[in-house]
Amino acid sequence: MDIQYEVVIIGAGPAGMAAAVYASRAGLKTAMLEKSAPGGKLVKTNEISNYPGFVTSGGPDLAFKMFEHSTAFGAEYLYGDVTRIHDHGNLKEIALADGSSVFTKAVIVATGRDERLLNIPGEQRYTGAGVSYCAVCDGAFFKNQEVAVIGGGNSALEEAMYLTQFASKVHIVIRRDVFRADEIVQKQLEENEKIHVIKKHVPVEILGENGKVCAIVLKNVETQEDTTLAVNAVFPYIGQDPGTSFVDHLDILDEQRYILTDERMATKVPGIYAAGDVIHKTLRQVVTATSDGAIAAQSVFHDLRG
């Protein structure tokens, strides 16, 4: 089997694109492998205002600039849906859904996370225009406005608390009459006058006006009656899943299926690295993803070239 590349980066989000810049600049024969459009969550984010060097930037605009940069030094961009990584020692085989394979000396997994969707009308249409899956990213755009958070777990309640520093009111919508979150988080929630909890309701539709979210339709799970709640943003927090199904046989995942790495972004399998939202870490932002990608690429360079 011929080695086609020295390093293949799976995923073309901020982590993957940063890795491509560093790997190709270091002279490695590099490819980025992506199953959809480059940019990752950037293409779903209306504005970015916490990435150094850009006071504010459209998410898709920043994604395009990163993509241009990522291929400027010779990295190739490949399209493909990865189904498995086969470890042949010094050679890695990346199997694709179309039956083909890509061979490489090293792999950087940068596939990020996929949000669990509400799967209701209006969600996809208004993603990036009021529907957001990241309060840290987009909360500041809704100062003195009312927003809705969907979910009753720790992440939902913590993000709702975060949003209170911007929004005039935060409505939390939960299906049951009790939260799944820790008691200490619930206590903080109860003490915040900006929080309004709507129990025993589920979202059924997101409404928009002039291209932006203006309301959400909620259904009472007991009476089946619909009510319309006027909000300027909807933050679904019903869970996220890391994109790691193609490495679940390599014993490099934690119990939540995130990839375990050391400070060099290396896994315990020689030649396999990971970066960005897909790894076990605390803060998942564009700036931390690019940092991870740079570290991973440098680690690959030093390990391959000594």
Q: Is 134 a catalytic residue?
A: yes
Pair 11, 121 in one domain: no
Cα separation, 219 vs 227, whole angstroms: 6
Pair 226, 244 in one domain: no
Pair 264, 297 in one domain: yes
With a threshold of 0.85, does the pTM exceed it? Answer: no
Task: Flag whether pLDDT at 305 surpasses 80.
Answer: yes
- The catalytically annotated residue of 114, 134, 214, 303 is 134
- The catalytically annotated residue of 138, 177, 262, 277 is 138
Pair 181, 227 in one domain: yes
Q: How confident is the model at residue 54 (pLDDT cuts 50, 70, 90)?
A: confident
Q: How many domains does the chain divide into? A: 2
- The catalytically annotated residue of 137, 182, 226, 251 is 137
Pair 223, 251 in one domain: no
Q: How confident is the model at residue 251 (pLDDT cuts 50, 70, 90)?
A: very high
Query: Scanning the structure block, which residue is given the tokens 């916490």?
Result: 50
- CATH number, domain with residue 89: 3.50.50.60
pLDDT at 50: 85
Q: Residues near 191 by Cβ (< 8 Å), separated by ≥ 6?
A: none
Reading the block at residue 74, the tokens are 């010779």
Task: Flag whether pLDDT at 1 surpasses 60.
Answer: no
pLDDT at 186: 87
Q: Is 254 a catalytic residue?
A: no
Q: What is the mean pLDDT of residues 48-75?
A: 91
Q: How confident is the model at residue 236 (pLDDT cuts 50, 70, 90)?
A: very high
Q: Is 114 a catalytic residue?
A: no
Pair 223, 282 in one domain: no
Range of the domain at 268: 5-114+240-305
Pair 244, 109 in one domain: yes
pLDDT at 76: 97
| Total number of residues shown for the chain | 306
Q: Considering 236, 251, 268, which residue would you say is the last residue of a domain?
A: 236
Pair 231, 123 in one domain: yes
Pair 174, 71 in one domain: no
Pair 105, 254 in one domain: yes
Lowest mean pLDDT among 96-110, 185-199, 245-259, 265-279: 185-199
Residue scoring higher pLDDT (151 or 189): 151
pLDDT at 240: 84
Q: Considering 236, 267, 287, which residue would you say is the last residue of a domain?
A: 236
Pair 134, 232 in one domain: yes
Closest CA to 73 of 8, 21, 33, 32: 21
Pair 139, 203 in one domain: yes
Task: Flag whether pLDDT at 34 surpasses 70.
Answer: yes
Q: Considering 212, 236, 260, which residue would you say is the last residue of a domain?
A: 236
Residue scoring higher pLDDT (148 or 188): 148
Query: 257, exposed or middle or buried, with CB in 10 Å at 0-12, 13-18, 19+?
Result: middle
